[in-house]
Amino acid sequence: MELLQQGAEAKLFRSEYLGRPCVVKQRQPKNYREKILDERILRERIRTECMLLSRAKKAGVRTPVVWKVDLGAKEITCEFVDGKTMKKELLRGSANSLEYCKKAGEIVARLHSCGIIHGDLTTSNIIIHNDGLVLLDFGLGRLAEKQEEFAVDLLVFKKTFAATHYRLEGGWDAVENAYIKAFSTGKSVVAHIGKIEARARYY
């Protein structure tokens, strides 16, 4: 297998499954945790990630198809999605940049409308494939109900977007406006972001 990426939580490998290109996500054990507890946590996080991928797909969000789950090896095998990251396309100044931003806002709205917090929303975790967007890496995701949780998830995206794509005029506005239109309580979630940012200024 070819190592694609090594993060704090998992390693990503490119491989083949039944003759098709795939990505193998291998969760890494934490030596500072007691072994039995670590085993239980890793298994639960794999189950949660698979559940979120399925739930997101049912909500109309394109995600990689999971082909195999190996709880013993702490691995998820899924399809390899060919394409460029949204980050690269926005940085190169694609003519479709604002349209991609709009679609990203709609994706987040669909997630939140079915109670999913992604936990790591960045343009690096979005692949442009056949003119559509595919959302990756639900490893930090979870289910939620509170407006504050949705606002924090969107705020994480806002901060990473601002740090990376500050040159793209109107980019975040396109994300935010699409989110508000696609999510029934989107306007109040966006308003709540302002409250969170105001609180942070006092710490």
Describe the chain by its helix, strand, coil percentages, rounded to 5. 45, 20, 30
Contact criterion met (CB below 8 Å) for 69 and 75 = yes
- The CATH number of 2-79, from 3.40.50.970, 3.30.200.20, 3.30.70.100, 1.10.40.50, is 3.30.200.20
- Read out DSSP for 2-14? EEEEE-SSEEEEE
For each of the chain's 203 residues, which pLDDT tens digit applies? 888 888 778 899 999 999 999 999 999 888 888 989 999 999 999 999 999 999 999 999 999 999 999 999 999 999 999 999 999 999 999 999 999 999 999 999 999 999 999 999 999 999 999 879 999 999 999 999 899 999 999 999 999 999 999 999 999 999 999 999 999 999 999 999 988 988 765 44
- At residue 203, the pLDDT reads 44
Domain 2-79 identical in fold to domain 84-200: no
Using left for φ > 0, alpha for ψ between -120 and 50, and beta otherwise, residue 104 falls in alpha
Contact criterion met (CB below 8 Å) for 66 and 15 = no
Residues with catalytic roles: 120
Contact criterion met (CB below 8 Å) for 83 and 127 = yes
CATH superfamily, domain at 84-200? Transferase(Phosphotransferase) domain 1 (1.10.510.10)
- At residue 1, the pLDDT reads 80
CA atoms within 13 A on the CB side of 56: 30
* Segments making up each domain of the chain, as ranges: 2-79, 84-200
- At residue 53, the pLDDT reads 96
